[in-house]
Amino acid sequence: MGAKDRHHVTPTPYPAEETVSCLYLPKVSVRRPFVLILDPRRIDWVWGPHWVRYGSAIEYILPGGFPKEAIVGGWEMEVG
């Protein structure tokens, strides 16, 4: 699987109820109960770090997405 399109990622841990507001995600009404944990050593192209909304966290941009091999555990994880 993996992804070939641009992704914005963060190493900053958030409780599930704060992800949408802190990361300024689109469609605030859509609940996001899963996360992917990625191994940056398996991603060829990473931009950043950049400050996220109000300087409360940092983000990295993966302009070329990420390969399946970068997904830790091989699957998404439920956050609650």
pLDDT tens digits for 47-59? 999 887 666 778 8
Average pLDDT, the chain: 81
> pTM here?
0.73
Q: Is 68 helix (H, G, I), strand (E, B) or coil?
A: helix
- Domain spans of the chain? 7-75
Separation CA 42–CA 31 (nearest Å): 28
Residue appearing with tokens 């983000």: 59
Nearest to 23 by CA among 44, 37, 42, 7: 7
For the chain, where are the E strands, in sequence order?
Answer: 7-9, 34-35, 47-52, 57-62, 77-78
Q: pLDDT at residue 1 above 80?
A: no
pLDDT over 90 at 65, yes or no:
yes
